[in-house]
Structure 1
Amino acid sequence: MSEGFGLGPQPVPFVRRVRVRNYRSIADCDVTLGPLTVLLGFNASGKSNFLDVLRLVADALRTSLPQAVSDRGGLDALLHRGPSGVAGSFEILLDLMLRPRVAGAEAVPATYGFAVGPDPDGLLPLLVLRETGEIRQPDGVLRLPLEVPGRSQRLRLSATILREEEPQATLESSLRGMTFYELDPAVLRALDEPVTKRPVLGPAGQHLGPVLGALDGADPLGKERLDAYLSALVPNALGVDERREGRYSTVQARFQAGDDDGVQTFLRENLSEGTVRAAGVLAALFQPAVSTGRMPLIGIEEPEIGLHPAGVGALYEALDDAAARAQVIVTSQSSELLDNEYVRLDHVRAVANVDGVTRIGEVDAGGRTIVEKGLMSIGELHRSGQMQPEGASPGPWPAGGEVGR
């Protein structure tokens, strides 16, 4: 058997390309991703639907595909509706880069995908129509045996793993490690019960205090970096820390007191929404699970919400910094987020809703020309309403139209 993978550094980006058919508002898209990707579009354009494609894959492998689909309202809620009616299935295909077995070796290309449709007999909530995966190892291509055995509602990737050192174990654990955030200030402020020694920030911001405490203990320089970014995002802020209240954990923040060197500490109930949200975003980006490679991709919905407009542009520097250690994908409709020297056109994927269908792609040729000639900045291009996705048709799927065939 070929050697397994997963001991080298986490490659960035982890997900290089996403192809989707008939998922919610997405009829057909083919999107390349970089270390940092900003899905930029107005409300209801379909940004969150695209990010949810990746979240669905992670959820389906953490729990089960039927559970992940049920949590989204059932299969009927996910199938694309167009002029010709409801699609008969949806398909997802991901191009990935896996961790190599040893440090210094090249990352390992892989592909994983599946197609899902209804059960014509109505006995099961859904059927896996196809599932495929391959890992292009240095000594040859490993095609995973994922053929669906008759009628099945479950994915088979996990069932193919016999030993943790196998390549498919790295594929599965990396996909499960993708983490997504819709931060809730009430959750970020909440008291936490004791958690594990390796706390991870929850999807709504659970365990913020323990994560800050773990970061301070395991990576003091990382904690200093987080506090420095917080001071750029929140006026007069000096840092945010774990606070213990008996057996519980929560957060507190330090602020400069007046014009001198004094420091004033504010407890969780006195922190503004902008402060706790900024702390949550930064904790998501710099938490220990990122630096150890357990979290290869971080998705954050509209990280700029609640921030003072003067600080939103500084958020981009934090996103770009974190993208050196894990792939970062954010949704946004903010022009202010783009007002930063770190912003590049190749970070942006413009998202637009055209006649009820989501279109996603790099900024079109007209927009690129405007920016490259210095007629507008990227932020000004978005403010003017001239940022549109490239109009080219989606790239070809594998021959025969079947995922992975």
Structure 2
Amino acid sequence: MNHRILGLTVRNFRTLTDVKLRLGSLTVMVGPNAAGKSNVLHALELLGDVSRLGIERALDARGGFDVLAFRGGQRSVSRIAIGIEGIWSEFASEESPDRYELSVSQRRLPEPREHDRVLFRQEQLTQHPGAGAATSLALASDQLTLSSSLKDDGKPGPIDVERMASVLNQPVPLPRSSPSAHAAAVVTRHLEQVRVFDPDVRLARRPSPITGSGQRLHNDASNLADFLKSLWEHRSTREEDKGRRFVWEALLRDVRAVVPQIQDIHLVDAPGRPDYISVELEETSLRGRTRLEDASFGTVRLLSLLAIFHDPNPPLLTCIEEIDHGIHPHALELLAGRLREASRRAQFLVTTHSPAFVNELEPEEFVVCERGEDGASVIPALTADEVRQVIEASEGMPMGDLWFANTLGGGL
């Protein structure tokens, strides 16, 4: 089954007061600084942290409710809600998607503790684990309520749970054979994989310990050398090509295409550091090799991005902040192509400020973001059909040029 997120709904999370965003295999957001693009990524990341840490710890890791709640308007916000719809259970579809929503409210206690506040959560998970049967799990206060006509789900009715428990973070107290419990676990595994990839070039340059975790590139690319080792070791299992390093060969071709001075990439033992691996670059006309620690900012960031685009086993959703940061404009065409190829294996949600990168997109991949006078984000500011109409009216002018000219909105 092709598990994926079809859409995101956010209310009162930072500047996202009422956002409904469709997500395809590739979605690229553009707009001025502080328009709310990063907040969209962080809303999804919050759900991932809820699945890993639980609701209260995920909120505390970001400063708590007061930091996350929208701070515009005349009155304080008392409720944050983040919802997704997608395909996870066996009989879900784009026409009948699964849905999950988390709502967190903050309320004052009655006297004499009126200065204290307490959090309450509500969760609703609707899924399709049986043919023609939609089931739901609802958490409110200290009870979970199952609505299901499926025999293996057991007897419907309220079940006692902890007040801030989450179906994403704790096993659903249903029979082991329950289709609804199984479907909830699939949603959890999906959200656990959500990542916001933001390479820290300073960390990516350093040697990496050789570990089993090298199969997944860290969100800050701090294990880049170890991850490259896993790509180098990846070999084809097809009988006619058995043993070939297709992934590594493709990565090298791309690096050479955008940084022609690099002829080869070598993975070597880090001097004086047992069980560590480092990266060295072989460059045209230079004696010896260049350590990655001495490579340029753009080279290291480009290598990090190409590495995740060539990942043969990517997480189900990767978010990337400012994909064009530090990258030469002429390299963006290749990056856009590799990103689109990678989006056939997994979903990508990225932000950019580059008209050159936007020129490589299709209207349905392009989302304009703006900020209203009330402080709230407007996302999307235009529909894909409206974008197409502007392009047609311009007689086919490139989409990035139209956006840079502020014809599509999302400008300063």
TM-score by length of 2: 0.81
| 2:142 is the alignment partner of 1:149 | yes
- 1:178 offset after TM fit, Å? 1.1
What does residue 281 of structure 1 align with? Answer: 305
- 1:161 offset after TM fit, Å? 4.1
- Aligned partner of 1:330: which letter? V
Q: Which residue of the other structure, out of 5, 20, 27, is the alignment partner of 2:17?
A: 27
Q: Which runs of 5+ in 1 are unaligned?
A: 1-7, 390-405
Structure 1 residues 75 and 31: alpha-carbon distance in aligned structure 2, compared to 1, 3 A threshold: same
What does residue 406 of structure 2 align with? Answer: 385
Q: CA RMSD in A?
A: 2.8
Structure 1 residues 315 and 362: alpha-carbon distance in aligned structure 2, compared to 1, 3 A threshold: farther
Contact 2:363 2:387 in 1 (8 A): no
| 2:100 is the alignment partner of 1:112 | yes
- 1:288 offset after TM fit, Å? 4.2
| 2:194 is the alignment partner of 1:170 | no
| 2:379 is the alignment partner of 1:360 | yes
- Three-state SS of the structure 2 residue aligned to 1:302 is coil
- CA distances 1:57-100 after superposition (whole Å, capped 9, x unpaired): 00111112222222222211111122232211110110012275
Distance in 1 between residues matched to 2:210 and 2:33, nearest whole Å: 38
What does residue 129 of structure 1 align with? Answer: 121
Structure 1 residues 350 and 287: alpha-carbon distance in aligned structure 2, compared to 1, 3 A threshold: same
Contact 1:187 1:205 in 2 (8 A): yes
- 1:180 offset after TM fit, Å? 1.3
Q: Which moved more, 1:234-243 or 1:204-213?
A: 234-243
TM-score by length of 1: 0.82
Q: Which moved more, 1:115-124 or 1:331-340?
A: 115-124
- Aligned partner of 2:127: which letter? I
Q: Which moved more, 1:324-333 or 1:107-116?
A: 107-116
> What is the 5 A alignment of 1:176-191?
176-191=192-207
| 2:270 is the alignment partner of 1:252 | no
Q: Which moved more, 1:186-195 or 1:22-31?
A: 186-195
Distance in 2 between residues matched to 1:126 and 1:158, nearest whole Å: 20
Q: Which moved more, 1:236-245 or 1:75-84?
A: 236-245
- Aligned partner of 1:249: which letter? I
More relative contact order, 1 or 2 (CA 8 Å, 6+ apart): 1
- Aligned partner of 1:18: which letter? L
> What is the 5 A alignment of 1:5-404?
8=1, 10-11=2-3, 14-98=4-88, 100=90, 109-121=97-109, 127-139=119-131, 140-149=133-142, 152-161=163-172, 166-196=182-212, 199-219=215-235, 220-238=245-263, 240-245=265-270, 246-255=274-283, 257-258=284-285, 265-290=289-314, 295-340=315-360, 343-355=361-373, 356-361=375-380, 363-364=382-383, 367-373=387-393, 374-388=395-409
- Aligned partner of 2:31: which letter? G
What does residue 397 of structure 1 align with? Answer: none
Contact 2:65 2:106 in 1 (8 A): yes
Structure 1 residues 160 and 303: alpha-carbon distance in aligned structure 2, compared to 1, 3 A threshold: same
- CA distances 1:306-328 after superposition (whole Å, capped 9, x unpaired): 11122123211111010000001
Distance in 2 between residues matched to 1:171 and 1:156, nearest whole Å: 9
Aligned length: 366
Distance in 1 between residues matched to 2:7 and 2:116, nearest whole Å: 31
- Three-state SS of the structure 1 residue aligned to 2:367 is strand
Contact 1:183 1:277 in 2 (8 A): yes
Greater CA radius of gyration, 1 or 2? 2
Structure 1 residues 274 and 119: alpha-carbon distance in aligned structure 2, compared to 1, 3 A threshold: same
